[in-house]
């Protein structure tokens, strides 16, 4: 029998689309109370219609420090505790031709890294009211090895890897379990913009099913699919092979820009 998360109260960010939406709907259908967050209230309201008795809407932008200051109080008005948080909010911008646009890098880090910091800060008081709390955040297998064009995105996910590891170390004597989720390519509005082949592409629903299953197993790091994660982890441990065999086929830059 497939394991399921049941009878919990969860907060899922990035719930207006993609993995966050699929996970929110899946968990709500498994008799959980899901607080679904995202920037687009209309999309969250549409999601709530699928399971109105189980989904509660909390619209917010996790990358907006000022707006997030009010979120702990808003969360407290919806629930007295949180058993689990899954931080799925994020974005992706590629650095074509190594433009090194600082505004682009900041947007990516604000959503993918600082957004998770804001989410954890907002959730900690309510997680402390649960006997076995879990904080999980969506990283990426792109943090395992450096990909061309992914300077901003991959760096933000690598920073998230370290951040969650440090939080896990700090809280190792507490009940809170910290989980890093690193999916491969998932069909979402973000990946639909990709102009390259995406091996082992899966649907958001398939990703949500895998995430729930692995969370039930109590893993601290969830990498999937294995057909992609295992080769990348091997190449990550032997980066000379990655740079010699793979990146010359992936990069689009042939000459340095002239100023």
Q: What span, in angstroms and rounded, lies between the C-alpha atoms of 72 and 126?
A: 8
Considering the entire predicted model, what is its pTM?
0.95
Strands 55-59 and 33-38: parallel
- How far is 254 from 35, CA to CA, in rounded Å? 47
b/e sequence 208-220, b meaning 16+ C-beta within 10 Å: bbbbbbbbeeeee
Nearest-angstrom CA–CA distance, 196 and 4: 34
What is residue 250's three-state secondary structure?
helix
Structure tokens that stand for 150 in this block: 């992914």
Res 2: pLDDT = 62
Residue 257's pLDDT is: 74
Q: For 155-199, how does the pLDDT look when each residue is reduced to its tens digit (9 = 90+)?
A: 999 999 999 999 999 999 999 999 999 999 999 998 988 989 899
Any idea of the CA torsion for 166, 162, 109, 119, to the nearest 10 degrees? -40
DSSP β-bridge partners for residue 121? none
- Distance from the first to the final alpha carbon of the chain: 61
DSSP letter for each residue of 149-165: T-HHHHHHHHHHHHHHH
**Is the torsion defined by CA of 180, 185, 189, 195 positive or negative?**
positive
Determine whether 153 is an active site residue.
yes
Q: Please, what is the Cα angle at 96 between 224 and 14, to 5 degrees? A: 45
What is the chain's pLDDT, residue by residue, as a tens digit (259 residues)? 568 999 999 999 999 999 999 999 999 999 999 999 999 999 999 999 999 999 999 999 999 999 999 999 999 999 999 999 999 999 999 999 899 999 999 999 999 999 999 999 999 999 999 999 999 999 999 999 999 999 999 999 999 999 999 999 999 999 999 999 999 999 999 898 898 989 999 999 999 999 999 999 999 999 999 999 999 999 999 999 999 999 999 999 988 876 5
Q: Which of 94, 105, 153, 162 is catalytic?
A: 153
**Number of neighbouring beta carbons within 10 Å of residue 1:** 3
Alpha helix stretches (DSSP H) within the chain: 18-28, 41-50, 65-68, 71-78, 102-109, 115-127, 151-170, 204-216, 226-237, 239-241, 247-250
Return the closest-CA partner of residue 134 out of 81, 186, 91, 75: 81
The string of DSSP letters for 77-124 reads HH-S--SEEEE--------GGG---HHHHHHHHIIIIIHHHHHHHHHH
φ/ψ of 242, rounded to 5, equals: -60, -50
């Amino acid at each position: 029998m497939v394991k399921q998360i049941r009878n919990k109260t969860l907060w899922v960010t990035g719930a207006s689309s993609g993995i966050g939406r699929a996970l929110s709907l899946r968990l709500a259908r498994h008799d959980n109370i899901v607080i679904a967050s995202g920037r687009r209230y209309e999309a969250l309201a549409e999601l709530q219609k699928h399971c109105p008795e189980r989904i509660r809407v909390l619209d917010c932008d996790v990358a907006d420090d000022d707006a997030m200051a009010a979120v702990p109080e808003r969360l407290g008005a919806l629930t007295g505790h949180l058993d689990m948080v899954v931080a799925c909010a994020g974005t992706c911008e590629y650095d074509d031709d190594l433009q090194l646009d600082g505004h682009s890098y900041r947007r990516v880090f604000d959503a993918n890294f600082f957004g998770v910091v804001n989410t954890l800060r907002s959730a900690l008081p309510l997680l402390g009211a649960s006997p076995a709390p879990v904080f999980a955040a969506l990283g990426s297998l792109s943090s395992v090895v450096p990909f061309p064009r992914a300077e901003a995105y991959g760096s933000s996910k690598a920073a998230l890897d370290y951040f969650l590891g440090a939080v896990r170390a700090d809280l190792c004597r507490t009940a809170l379990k910290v989980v890093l989720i690193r999916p491969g390519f998932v069909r979402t509005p973000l990946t639909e913009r990709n102009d390259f082949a995406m091996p082992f592409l899966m649907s958001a629903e398939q990703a949500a099913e895998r995430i729930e299953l692995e969370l039930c197993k109590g893993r601290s790091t969830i990498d999937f699919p294995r057909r992609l994660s295992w080769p990348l982890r091997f190449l990550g441990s032997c980066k000379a092979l990655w740079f010699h065999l793979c990146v010359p086929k992936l990069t689009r830059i042939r000459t340095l820009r002239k100023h």
